[in-house]
Structure 1
Amino acid sequence: MDLQRAVSLGQGPSFDSTWPATLVHQFENIVPDFPQNVAVKEVDGASLTYTQLAQKVDMIALELLHHKVNQGCRICVLQEASGDWVASMLAVLKVGAVYVPLDPSTPVQRLSLIAGDCKPAAILIHHSTQKQATELETPSGTPRINVSRLTKPSFDPIEIIAQADAPAIILYTSGSTGTPKGVELQHAALKHEFDICAATYALEPSDVVLQQSAFSFDLSVTQMFIALSVGARLCMILHVMWVDAHAIVQCIEKEGVTITDATPTELKSWLRRDHRPILQGSAWRLALIAGEAVTEPLLQLFRKLDHPGLHLYNIYGPTETTCCVPVGRASANEAFYIVDEQLRLQPIGLPGEIVIGGVGVATGYLNNNQLTKAMFLANPFASPQFVNRGWQRMYRTGDRGRLLPDGTLLLGGRIQGGAEIKLHGVRIDLGDIEQTILRAADGQLADAAATLRSTADGTLPFMVAHVVLTSLDLPCTQEQFHNNLLANLPLPRPMRPSMLVSIEALPRTVSGKLDRKVIEALPLTRNMSGSVNAETLSSEHQQIHADSDFFNVGGNSLLLIELQSKLRQQHHISIPLIELFQGSTLRSMASLLQIEVSNPGAQVDWESETTPQAGLAPPLLLDEVRSIALPPRVVVLTGSTGFLGQYLLRALIEQKQIEKVICIAVRNFDDHDKKLLRARNFIRLCLPRKIVLHYISTTGVTAYSTSDDDFPEISVRDTPNPPPPQTNDGLHGYVASKWASEVYLENVHHEHQLPVWIHRPSSIIRPDSHLHGDSPTPDILQNLLGYSRRLNAVPIMTGMHGTLDLVAPETVADNIVRDLMASSAVQLTFRHQSGDVELSFSELREYIQRETGGDVVDIPLDEWIRRAETIGLSTAMAAVFREMARLGARLRL
């Protein structure tokens, strides 16, 4: 009797769908009712009405039919966030094919695994993914259809071939073997899911739904169809903005977003204290929470937001059960069962594995019968109604939970996950530690993630927690806050972390979930700041001494430029920036000052600086040296804590062939190690085995060319030398150091045949938040665009001409790692990493206007700089812009 009651309590109410057979049918029913409603709005201002979207769908569907795409064929879609992507998905479904999303931010090697598994009949791309599509490994003859080039409309209606009992979508999820597994979802299950959503959430044509999730994540499907199935608007965020919480919050307010579907990790970043005033004035009414456990600290953040009329739904649910299943009571036509290890039903209140039955259960895993049989089972608990309607299978989730006497499901985490460790003989759930830290912080922390570490020799394990502050406005220093929090954690001493490390945000996977693998690789140095010069670096936490490294105590390239400027202004000493980069400890800087004082006015001998010294290549001690592995199994990475470095680290970790990534991230070594790790000593270590060296330069080095033509991917050795030290200010110093390093490495290659790859990123896209604070980005173009947005004004730059080039950090990292995996033994290669967004100076105002949606004016450069300085532009960056105007030369950014 108790078991029967458990079955009854775990079953949701009956629901008879009133929608037509598939979601494509529902979409086409909606179009005549709301022809002029905006269906898709992109953040840059481009939009499509329902009529225009339907026309684009038919145009793509017609092209698919011309390529002999039949019912059941699988079609991959590899596109950026745009109306093209939405239309492509609907077109695939309309012709009866199966939609397989390929997220362009995913490394091409992994996308090739997906394509190899599903064997697509075609791949739908557009302009921005053409290059990536050519690198995708697919069965021979697979056509790439560029939907951006389709202009011929379909004058005759295209018949809907989709059928209710046929597969509609294949979503690939992470597999335990490292190979993605494809989950097949049927049209009927999807239609039923969103019919219930429309009723449950009271969806209206006036709603605006945010689309910020990766296309490979099931949340993207939910986001699209809760909008397009009822005549509402889908507001699409460019993938480069997905990690920019401030930009997303501004979009929610500006675009009138009413509905979001996001992970708790995403929501925590949106709900930080400085975002509350923006969100409190927004139209946000419905927050769907999925992908991770909903915790009390997250609910506290929503309470502090105090947004009237905002409702939360915890829609726990794996992809295998069609996108979402609510925590709480079972949804209509679905059921929860709690079973033991032998799959026997558990009584009410007892914990066990959550198994889900009903209409939403997926078909299974594509090309993986063994796993399908293990996870998708015949449902012995199915009700007569389920049996009559053909819902006779259930899915094992691998999640722990229990049913309460009122039928509520309590979720308890994974049964077999990576969140349990053993430390000091005690079994510890890291989730328990994280939630305890958040509760004890009393609102001062937005997020926390604990990991198990060990000492360098591996003999002493210890626990570390990376935390995210809700605000830097603490009642004490950050270090004091960490120490007080650790001392007062309500945990037994063996369960307390050894240290807390504050970071700006916890890393996430492309699906928005906490990325524990990346967290385990994060450095353990706290965010420290010190004082090399009281006017350049603020002193707050760390005692500075002679061997303190400028970059390790809060310094960065921009502040180094400012320090160089102050030395010149106050002491009439000019030191080339490349020397300040190389000698970045206080002791080394002091030595540079002594040299400069004793030898004033010295010029840089570029030939001497870029000539490899004698004895650079040490004699080999062995007759034969073991050749290096290609592709490499071990990679040494410097700068892994920097902005691009973090993306490089993630891209390297995702490579199955790479067994180890060694991060050189701390510069305060003893004298022996400091010498060992200088750039030239790195080269000395690489030379005996001809280890391939990849160097990150900048496209700025091409500025010394006298030609107005676009500079090709070639050497800069024959371009004019950089200006002398007297003019090596904020504009020239950094670029000159990169130029010199390139030429030096090229000379090393020619003399010693060292394989060298030189990568020249253009302006790497950063969130606007990187332009402010104690360490603003030194990137010229980012500051130009960021402050132009904030001022609603662009500077008149007389005499300036050239191209402004933006590139996403993911693009740069993926391209570099792709080249690294394909590196040959002996070669010198130059790569320009650029081209995600290109515009001329004359297009700048129009570009900013499209982005902001408001009026943008042209003002003189001096006035633009003055206004920008009043809202945060640093004096060093202002000097850079003034020097640009003075030179009035061709600019390559």
Structure 2
Amino acid sequence: MKPGVTLHENFERTASRFPESVAVTDGRTQLTYRELDERAERLAGALRAAGAGRDQRVGLCVERGAELVVGLLGILKAGAGYVPVDPAYPAERREFVLGHCDSGLVVAHAATAPLVEGRRVVRVDALPETVTEAPAGHQAADAESLAYVIFTSGSTGEPKGVEIEHRNAVRLFTATAPVFAFDETDVWTNFHSTAFDFSVWEIWGALFFGGRLVIVDRDTARDPQAFLTLLRRERVTVLNQTPSAFRNLINVDEGQPLDLRYVVFGGEKLDYRSLKPWVERHGIETPALVNMYGITETTVHVTWKVIGEADLSGEGDSLIGKPIADLRLAVLDEQGAELPIGTEGGLHVAGAGVARGYLGHPELTAARFVERTLADGTTERWYDSGDRGVQIAPGQFAYAGRADRQVKIRGYRVEPGEIEAVLQQHAAVRDAVVLVADFGSGDPRLVAYPLVEAGTDAEALAAELKEAVAAALPAYMAPSTYLAIDELPVTVNGKLDESVLRKRLEVQLAEAADSAREQSAAGGSVEDALRGIWAEVLGTDAAAIADGDEFFDLGGTSFSLIHMLSVVNDRYRLSLNVGTLAEGANIAALAAAVQNQLALTSR
């Protein structure tokens, strides 16, 4: 592997060393390094003939498989940068990515060509038999040329395209080679979508060192048991996982031997305690567990830390270790001043991995990629990650989370991870996620999603978890709702899919609203009418609310209490206030207060 040259030139060097070794397999097709190189050359010729060249952006819309790697490599050999468009994307997202990149040329195959209609398509599954010569004036790529554009979520809702150059990606492997000592005996999985930059590490980690890349199809990636079977069958040695995806793998793993040398974590904050069941079965040394903090804008990974036994009980911030050799990490305050060891602040990154910038967003690029003046008077380009962290010792860092991970509930700052840790102590809970949801009118509440075995008595579990939380945490940290799940949903990138969990809450709230309306329509006692109001405000089943249940024990907040009283006052034309419930916020006490005021107003 040679620094200062392109990704594809480094691949060609590897292909010349291991021409007959298997480079990529997908369960249906396998290609040797020679075959992969030849097919990519033929695709590159067709792309060059279609006008692809240096710093142009060519779409890549191919289902997971060996052809995906041919497409990626062919685009680079043509001199262009690839723009991954996951076929699973909604049409609007596909159009946004390709339109923003001005990608009139797209590599696809028979199954995906209809998804990119209106653009010139070069089919990776219909290649010319020979390599087309480059047209006159064609510009080949060099180390400073564009390699790929990967889009990340934007705070405004519009995705941002991050431009990475060949030099950024190549140095990721030259800088980490002494740490991992990858070689031609390694078998890697490509578990993640090419639209997620973890795939850059997976694909080139195999192809730079002569290893074998196993493409994981979408269905297998979503089925932890099937994926575990693949790991055994293919004798995978290097596994890269987001913590959320690995949690699901842990839950189906029974401790049978694997050939893994490394499990590398990235993409999310790692809770070390979640690894205990894995370590109990497989030990801590083989495979080695490595936590790598990283950002798309700084080329996949920034730091690395080999996890030790003592780390597994670690509470608080997630240890991320030290920066990769050619990067620098600093913890700064809001004014850009470096903070002392032990003080939390914003994580900023400098060095050879820092991206070119955001495509088509010069102002945002200038705001996030900042020239910083150092103590010696020199300036250096740094990236403001938007993450929070702390330097725990010279050169050693911990990740605290996104700047917006910490939330405010009733004026108190709350870290959801602290609540998750309490829930995870319950014997029936394999894992847990706590999110903040707006229950309407700016009423933010905590919602807990305990991961349990299918068939678990959710109502009994919720009662036990409420007791555990009440015993361990202040009242303002108590979740309002508990929704049991039997699997952690993940996105195509392997990250926790919060939208699925939020949809689950929406369904429950809709059911609760129906229950409340039925309760109100049925008429009956004041108690029953109030039960219906509580059910709608709390997002719970009216039938589950007993006369003596306390409003706050059912998940109510001070805000929702006021809202509930407002609904009651409107219904009965009363003027009840919070003081009315000083002796107890339950249906019995509230019904008595309503009846007393009604009696007074009727005189």
Same fold (TM over 0.5): yes
In the TM superposition, what whole-angstrom CA distance separates every residue of 1:221-252 from its partner, at most 9, and x where no partner exists?
11100000011011111123322111111111
| 1:55/1:18 CA distance change after superposition, 3 Å | closer
1:523–1:665 contact (8 Å) kept in structure 2:
no
Q: Which residue of 2 aligns with 1:466?
A: 449
For 1:253, give the aligned amino acid.
Answer: R
Written as runs of structure 1 = structure 2, the 5 A alignment for 1:152-171 is 152-154=129-131, 161-171=140-150
Q: Which residue of 1 aligns with 2:261?
A: 285
Measure how far apart 1:287 and its partner are. 0.8
Q: Which residue of 2 aligns with 1:40?
A: 24
In the TM superposition, what whole-angstrom CA distance separates every residue of 1:158-203 from its partner, at most 9, and x where no partner exists?
9992201222111111112222111111111111101223332111
1:348–1:405 contact (8 Å) kept in structure 2:
yes
Written as runs of structure 1 = structure 2, the 5 A alignment for 1:782-797 is none
For 1:508, give the aligned amino acid.
Answer: V
Following the alignment from structure 2 to structure 1, what is the Cα–Cα distance between the partners of residues 57 and 133? 25
1:441 maps onto 2:426 in alignment = yes
Following the alignment from structure 2 to structure 1, what is the Cα–Cα distance between the partners of residues 162 and 301? 14
Structure 2 unmatched runs, 5+ = 304-319, 523-603
Q: Which of 3, 11, 26 is the equivalent residue of 2:10?
A: 26
| 1:339/1:670 CA distance change after superposition, 3 Å | closer
1:338 maps onto 2:298 in alignment = no
1:268–1:301 contact (8 Å) kept in structure 2:
no
Measure how far apart 1:106 and its partner are. 1.0
Measure how far apart 1:301 and its partner are. 3.1
For 2:346, give the aligned amino acid.
Answer: E
Q: Percent identity?
A: 29
Measure how far apart 1:132 and its partner are. 1.2
Q: Secondary structure of the residue that 1:52 maps to in structure 2?
A: helix
Segment of structure 1 superposing worse, 69-78 or 302-311: 302-311
2:409–2:445 contact (8 Å) kept in structure 1:
no
Q: Which residue of 2 aligns with 1:593?
A: none
For 1:305, give the aligned amino acid.
Answer: R
Q: Secondary structure of the residue that 1:379 maps to in structure 2?
A: strand
Q: Which residue of 2 aligns with 1:399?
A: 387
Q: Which residue of 1 aligns with 2:208?
A: 229
For 2:110, give the aligned amino acid.
Answer: H
Following the alignment from structure 2 to structure 1, what is the Cα–Cα distance between the partners of residues 178 and 139? 25
Q: Which residue of 2 aligns with 1:275?
A: 253
Measure how far apart 1:509 and its partner are. 2.8
Q: Which of 389, 397, 417 is the equivalent residue of 1:409?
A: 397
Following the alignment from structure 1 to structure 2, what is the Cα–Cα distance between the partners of residues 671 and 168? 59
| 1:309/1:382 CA distance change after superposition, 3 Å | farther
Q: Secondary structure of the residue that 1:512 maps to in structure 2?
A: coil
For 2:280, give the aligned amino acid.
Answer: K
1:339–1:353 contact (8 Å) kept in structure 2:
yes
Measure how far apart 1:487 and its partner are. 0.8
1:271–1:305 contact (8 Å) kept in structure 2:
no
Q: Secondary structure of the residue that 1:71 maps to in structure 2?
A: coil
Following the alignment from structure 1 to structure 2, what is the Cα–Cα distance between the partners of residues 113 and 409? 37
| 1:131/1:484 CA distance change after superposition, 3 Å | same
Following the alignment from structure 1 to structure 2, what is the Cα–Cα distance between the partners of residues 673 and 246? 47
| 1:363/1:453 CA distance change after superposition, 3 Å | closer
1:357–1:382 contact (8 Å) kept in structure 2:
no
Segment of structure 1 superposing worse, 395-404 or 342-351: 342-351
Measure how far apart 1:451 and its partner are. 3.0
Q: Which of 209, 216, 219 is the equivalent residue of 2:188?
A: 209
Q: Which residue of 1 aligns with 2:289?
A: 312
1:486 maps onto 2:466 in alignment = yes
Q: Which residue of 1 aligns with 2:435?
A: 451
Q: Which residue of 1 aligns with 2:197?
A: 218
For 1:486, give the aligned amino acid.
Answer: K
2:40–2:73 contact (8 Å) kept in structure 1:
yes
1:171–1:217 contact (8 Å) kept in structure 2:
yes
2:5–2:142 contact (8 Å) kept in structure 1:
yes
1:25–1:160 contact (8 Å) kept in structure 2:
no
When the two structures are aligned, how many residues end up with a matched partner? 501
Q: Secondary structure of the residue that 1:162 maps to in structure 2?
A: coil
Written as runs of structure 1 = structure 2, the 5 A alignment for 1:816-855 is none
Q: Which residue of 1 aligns with 2:225?
A: 246
1:430–1:451 contact (8 Å) kept in structure 2:
yes
Larger radius of gyration: 1
1:420 maps onto 2:407 in alignment = yes
Q: Which residue of 2 aligns with 1:145?
A: 122
Following the alignment from structure 1 to structure 2, what is the Cα–Cα distance between the partners of residues 449 and 261? 22
Q: Which of 73, 94, 100 is the equivalent residue of 1:117?
A: 100
| 1:153/1:664 CA distance change after superposition, 3 Å | farther
Provide TM-score, normalisation by structure 1. 0.53
| 1:130/1:669 CA distance change after superposition, 3 Å | farther
Following the alignment from structure 1 to structure 2, what is the Cα–Cα distance between the partners of residues 77 and 223? 17
**Aligned-residue CA RMSD (Å):** 2.9
Structure 1 unmatched runs, 5+ = 1-16, 525-639, 642-661, 676-893
For 2:130, give the aligned amino acid.
Answer: P
1:184–1:366 contact (8 Å) kept in structure 2:
yes
Q: Which of 355, 362, 365 is the equivalent residue of 2:358?
A: 365
Following the alignment from structure 1 to structure 2, what is the Cα–Cα distance between the partners of residues 242 and 421? 35
Q: Which residue of 1 aligns with 2:373?
A: 380
| 1:459/1:191 CA distance change after superposition, 3 Å | closer
1:357–1:379 contact (8 Å) kept in structure 2:
no
For 1:78, give the aligned amino acid.
Answer: C
